[in-house]
Each structure stands twice: as C-alpha cells, then as structure tokens.
Chain A
Amino acid sequence: MSDSTDERTPTPYVESPIIMATVRIITPFVFTFGLFVMFHGADSSGGGFQGGVIVGTIVLMLGMAFGIETTRNWVGPKLPVGLVGSGVLAFILIGTGPVLLGGSFLEYHAYEIHHASKYGIELVELAIGLIVSGIVTGLFFVIASGMEDNGGETA
C-alpha cells in the first residue's frame, strides 16, 4: 500500500461499463414500475410509500453506476427539498380545495367530477410518492457523505 491510499481512503466507486449500461436500460422501467405501484394505492396493494421508494432507488442506482459525487452534482441540493415540499403542498391543496368549494377538509365529493373520491386518494398517493422519493434521495446523499462534513445539510 502506498502512502497516498493511507491518507485518503479510496472511494468504493468502480467505473464499470456493464453497470452503467444496465442502469441506463432499466432506469425507465424502474420509474414506470414506481408509478404503477403508486397508482395502485387506492384499490389494491401498493401506494405512495412503496412507489416513492422505488422511484427514489433510481437516484441510488445512478449513484452506484456513475459515482455518488457526480450524481450529487447532477441532482443538486434543491431537488430533494423541492420534491418533499411540492408533495406536501399538493396534499394541502387537495385537502383544502373542498373547503374553498364549500365542503369540509378532504371531502373529495365537493369536487364535482366522477369518482372524485378515487381520484382524490390517487392524487394524495402521488403526493406521498413525491415526498417519499425526495426523502429517500436526500437520505441517500446525507448518508453517503459520511461523517466528514459534520452534520451538513444536503436535504
């Protein structure tokens, strides 16, 4: 072992064309599958939590394939916060919409559309999916950064 490796531990990242190609191919499918699971929250097993984690794993896969630092720079610090924020905001809007239309909080029937309740729950599941994927991404970067920057805030 040379001195330079002793001073700075080598990153576990290995640039492998096989992994990069695989990740490129399966990413769209994983994303679609995540959405599929999210859309099945209202009437079968599935939902925003599971779907959100699946969508969040895309960033994890990209991190494994292309290096965590590269992915972090590409994603940027604002995306996870934005995802979480817009997810919660979407939920609040869906909830308070009926109040503005004269119903009570979260009363989906106040929206005058067919199967309002079903679409309402579906939208809430999507919002939860946004939040969960944002948090998974944020947590991944925070944990990956290790103890070095001492409690810095990525998400």
Chain B
Amino acid sequence: MTDLPALVIVFPIFASIAVLLVGLVRPRTGWPIATLASIVQIAITGSLALRGFNGDPVQYVVGGFTVPYGIELVIDGLSATMIVLVAVVALGVLGYARTAGPRSNSFYATYLLLVAGLTGMSITGDVFNMYVFLEITGLTAYALVASGKGGRSALAALKYLLVGTFGASLFLLGIGYAYVATGTLNMADLSGQLAAVGYTSSLVQAAFGLLVVGLFVKIAVFPLHTWQPVAYAGAPDAVSGLISALVSTVSAYALIRIVFSVFTVDFLLANPFARTVLMAGAVVSIVTGSLLAVAQSEIKQLLAYSSVSQFGLIIGAIAVGNDTALTGAAIHLVGHAIMKGGLFLTAGLIGTNAGSRTVTEFEGLGKHLPIGAGSFGIIALAMVGVPPTIGFVGKWYIALGAVETQSWPLAAVILLSTLLTLAYFARLIERMYFREPAVTTSSVETTDATDAVNVATDGTGTTPSMGMWMTVVTAAVLSVVLGVVAFEYGQLLEPTIEHLLS
C-alpha cells in the first residue's frame, strides 16, 4: 500500500482511542487491544522497513500537497530502524506490563499515543511536524511517569514536565529562527536554503544552537539531564523500561536528523565551535554520567545515570560525524534501547520478586533468583561492551570513527567509558554472585488476587508472571544475538548513512 507511511502514525492513535471507547463498554479490554495493536504495528513498520532499506527512501506527502509546502514523511534506513524498534519494544513492554501494571485503560491509551508520537518523530520530514510529535511524545511520557501510585511519581512527572517543556520550547524557538532565515520548514528544502543563507550567518547559528540544546534536554545530556534520573526512578517499572528504551533514543535520532539532514556536515565544517560544543557535551556526559552512576545506591537511579553516560557516546558519534561513527550511533541506539529497557525491566522483576531495589540488596541474588540475576548479568556485560554483544559493536564503531578522524580525546574517553561502565556494573555482578545475603531479604510474598491488583503499580509483593519472565529473558538473548548480526546491519545501513552525509 502506498499510504502506509501515514497509516503507521494514524494506526496507534486509532488503537489508543479504541482502548478508551471499548473500555467504556467493557472495562478490562485495554491490554488485549493494546497488544493486538502493537502486533499490527510491528507488521506495518516491518513492511515499511523492507521498502526503506530497499534502495531509495520512501517519501510521502500528506494531503496531496507538493513537497516544500505539505508535510512530508520520509522513511530511510535510519527511520525504518527507529519505527521497528519502537514497535518491538512497545510489544515487549506490554508483555511485561500485563501483570506488573499499571493496568487502567487510560494507561494503555496513553501508551499507544506515546508509540504514535515516537513513530511520528522518526519518520517526519518536516521540522515543525517533528516539534508536534516531540510534544506528543513528551506529554504522554509525563503522563506515563505520573501513572505510578504515590507522591514520588507525581513529583517526578512534574519535574519532567517543567524541564521537558523548557527543552521543547528551545526546540520550537530554534525552528522559528530557521524559518525566519529561510521561510521553509521541510527538512530537505531547509538544508538547501540554509546553505544559501550561509552557514556563518548568526541567524542560522542561533537556530542550530537552540535546536541542539533543546534536544540535549530531551536526550538528557549531562548538565541538562536533571529530569531523567528522577523520572526513571519514580515511574512504575514497566514505564521506566519503555521510556528509558525509547524516548531519549528517538530524541537522539532527531538530533542526528537535525544535524545531518537539516544543517549537514558542511555546517559543522564551517562552524568548528558547533562541533566543539557537541564534543564537549559528549565527553562531559560520558564521564559525569558514569561517575554519578557509581555513586548511586538505588538500582533504578544507577541505571538512569548510566543512560546519561551512554547517550554521551551517541553525541560523540554525532560530533565525529563520519560514516563509521554514525553507523555506530545507529547500532548503539538500538542496542542501548534493548539493553537499558531490558535492565530496567529486569530490575523491576527482581524488585517485584525479591524486593531488592538497592545495590546492597542485590547480595546473593545469583542463588536466590538465578534467571533474574543471570539476565541482569548478561545485559550488564553487554552494556559494558563485552564481545560479541550488541554493546560491543556499537562502541567499537563509534571508537573506530573517532580514531579515523583522529579525535583522540573522544577515543580515549570512549575507552575510559567502558571501564567506568564496568565499575558500576561489576559492583552489582559481584554482589549478585560472590556474596552471601547479609540480611534476610524479604522472601517472596504471594498475596491474593485482589491485593495483587492493588499493589500492581508498585510491584513489590506480587509474583512475576510468565510475560514478565519472557520479556526479560528475550531482552537478554537479544542483547547477545543482535551483536552477531550488527555488522551485517551496519552494511545494510551504508547507503542511508552515505545519503545522510552527502
């Protein structure tokens, strides 16, 4: 079908409304509808991805307008990767959320709306349209964070809302500047027009700065990351898994689009300072994120700071800006999504089952909960970058790219980041396998069904379901298996990256 690019965004919105409306008649239908919708979404994105990887990018103009005026949707290798990733992770987390909760119909409706927003951000070819989807993504993410019970998640969501809106406003301001300079909003058209205006024009430079800093907030790059640990730690487990895997990832993808599709490499060459800022953001984020992660005692906070550090790598790849580094960025985006989502869900599972939510409580988990501890250990090692996992391939490409352009400080920091990642994960792995539990951790409590529903959002005290185990183990398997196929994927992505850098 030729209209699939529009339908891939419309379908989750439709499903979200279906959840709400069917929920009025039959209250317990949210999960089945959301799951069915996610499966259909995987099919749609899959068929689009086949076309996106097969030769030229798929282009579609909404409303039958002509290109610079109408909203264009573009699916190339990179955006195809993102939409498939979003659909797959959304289905996986649903499998986890069935028993882990939250379970209200409004949760599932918001969930599908978030999927729509992320998909839209990935395939849009229009900067203003990207802002709209960025806002949809942001608003639904705030609502999802707030869906946990208790004041902590509400406070986290409020903080996320304030900081996130600030970032989105900067982004919008940047679009405004670019529009003043060129009079167009279409990305492909903008890149030509911006070149015509001149890359050293202060208007163009200001637009670049605002767009990049706005997205830095959304990605959670070091000094602008303050919303992120609070939000990830305060949200219900399933929600932390979903947003840690997707929201920052798609924002980082948006940054790649803005920097390379709109402003192009020539802009970076004409403005060495822009590249320096990106590089500085990357280095500071990698080092500080890791150091802060080492200092955390709560598992979810630790994982959140680890994300700050990992996204530093992606920013580093953007700053390097050659094809090897960008291939690495794409691989690491996918890899990080699977690994971090998996880690958050595993941490949630361990917290649900054994009540261990801090670093010290992980002692002796290897005996207590072998599958949970095993999955956590495998994904953690993948995150460190042990071959042949996906974490290794992503870092390898980015480091190689940095060496190719002789950005030695960045290359050194990437190697250092591996050690730092090892520092905070080794602490956990050591506790899980080489220490006896010092204090008797609260044993598995099986509460009866009604209680299980009540505490579902909090988690502690329920037995994990089949779906939860399956999601966690699948994430662990994927983080290894994807590493094997990642090099082929890198080759598949080559034409897209070349097109992006030309």
Whether both chains belong to one complex is answered with yes
Binding site for B on A (CB under 8 A): 78, 81-82, 84-86, 88-89, 92, 95-96, 98-99, 103-110, 150-151, 153, 155
The answer to whether A99 and B24 touch across the interface, beta carbons within 8 angstroms, is no
Total number of B residues with any Cβ neighbor in A under 8 Å: 22
Task: Collect the chain A residues with CB atoms within 8 Å of residue B61's CB.
Answer: 104
Please tell me if the beta carbons of B62 and A104 are within 8 angstroms of each other in the complex: yes
Do A81 and B24 have beta carbons less than 8 Å apart? yes
What distance in Å separates the Cβ of B285 from its nearest Cβ neighbour in chain A?
34
Interchain CB contact under 8 A, A104 and B20: no
Nearest residue (CB) in B for A110 is: B64
Question: Which residues of chain A come closer than 8 Å to B2, judged between CB atoms?
Answer: 104
Contact B24 A105 (CB under 8 A): no
Q: Which residue of A is nearest B61, CB measured?
A: A104
Main secondary structure on A side of the interface with B: helix
**Chain A contacts of B423 at CB under 8 A?**
none
Query: How far, in Å, is A96 (CB) from chain B's closest CB?
Result: 7
Q: Is B3 an interface residue (CB 8 A)?
A: yes
| Contact B21 A85, beta carbon cutoff 8 Å | yes
B-side residues, CB < 8 A to A, are: 2-3, 6-7, 10, 13-14, 16-17, 20-21, 23-24, 60-64, 104, 106, 149, 154
Instruction: List A contacts of B13 (CB < 8 A).
Output: 88, 92
State the Cβ distance, B72 to closest chain A Cβ, in Å: 11
- A98-B64, A103-B64, A155-B106 known, 10 other contacts, Cβ within 8 Å: A81-B24, A84-B20, A86-B21, A95-B10, A99-B3, A99-B6, A104-B63, A105-B7, A107-B64, A150-B149
A153 to B110, CA, bound (A): 13
Whole-angstrom CA separation of A72 from B291 in the bound complex = 52
Could you say which residues of chain B place their CB within 8 Å of the CB of A95? Answer: 6, 10
A78 touches which of B17, B24, B63, B106 (Cβ 8 Å): B24
**Which one of B17, B63, B149 lies within 8 Å of A88 (CB-CB)?**
B17
Closest Cβ of chain A: how far from B119's Cβ, in Å? Answer: 14
Establish whether residues B21 and A82, one from each chain, have CB atoms under 8 Å apart when the complex forms: yes
6 closest A-B pairs by CB = A105-B6, A107-B64, A106-B63, A85-B21, A88-B17, A99-B3
Q: Are B64 and A104 in contact (CB-based, < 8 A)? A: yes
Task: Offer 28 A-B interface pairs, CB within 8 angstroms, sorted by A.
Answer: A84-B17, A84-B20, A85-B17, A85-B21, A88-B17, A89-B17, A89-B21, A92-B10, A92-B13, A92-B17, A95-B6, A95-B10, A96-B10, A99-B3, A103-B64, A104-B3, A104-B60, A104-B63, A104-B64, A105-B3, A105-B60, A105-B62, A105-B63, A106-B6, A107-B64, A110-B64, A151-B149, A155-B106
